[in-house]
Amino acid sequence: MRYYSNMKKIVSNSPEETARIAAEWVKQVSATHPTRTEALVVGLSGNLGAGKTAFTKGVAQALGITEEITSPTFVIMKLYPTKSTSWKQLVHVDAYRLEKPAEVEVLGFEGLIADPGNLVLIEWPENIEGSLRAGENYLPITFSVLENDSDNKKREITFQ
């Protein structure tokens, strides 16, 4: 079973709108996610500046996280306890700097994705593909900057 059986595309016109779309998405996915035996792992794909971190900020806000979300590019991974009943912890991974899937294993990734209390959002999931298993606990979302947009604020978000 997939949470979104059909591909769904949404256009966002601002970072604030991306955050609202993210908040709406996390509410839906929390409500429809079946009884969990492991974490929900979400791959956020798209170019630099496409809005992956902006989306993560919206998710964090919806989960009652007040700590500021900053891009974990240099630390690779950050953990945030939530105030949500759906998820105990948000795990934000930025795999941009990783060269081999094995590099994520030293971060205790296996244990984190085994814990059903975790919602794991991964920027640049392509870099750790070998550590991610396709299936009902993995959900890909793709971000792209729409061209021909004078103020460069249009982003297309595709839920696969």
Ligand X SMILES: Nc1ncnc2c1ncn2[C@@H]1O[C@H](COP(=O)(O)OP(=O)(O)OP(=O)(O)O)[C@@H](O)[C@H]1O
Residue 60 interaction partner, one of ligand X, Mg ion, none, beta carbon < 5-8 Å per kind:
none
Instruction: Considering only the stretches 8-16, 32-40, 85-93, 99-107, report the one whose residues sit in contact with ligand X under the rule CB under 6 A.
Output: 8-16
135: region left, alpha or beta (phi > 0 left; psi from -120 to 50 alpha):
left
Cβ proximity of 125 and 44 under 8 Å: yes
Give 70-139 as a DSSP string.
---TTTSEEEEE-S-SS-SEEEEEE-TT--STHHHHTTTHHHHHH-TTEEEEEESGGGGGGG---STTEE
Query: Mask 61-80, x = binds Mg ion (CB under 5 A)?
Result: ----------x---------
Q: Which two tokens stand for residue 141?
A: 């979302």
Asked if 155 interacts with ligand X (CB under 6 A), we say yes
Query: Mask 101-120, x = binds Mg ion (CB under 5 A)?
Result: --------------------
Nearest distance in Å: CB 12, ligand X:
4
Q: Using CB under 6 A, which residues numbered 68 to 127 contact ligand X?
A: 71, 123
Residue 92 interaction partner, one of Mg ion, ligand X, none, beta carbon < 5-8 Å per kind:
none
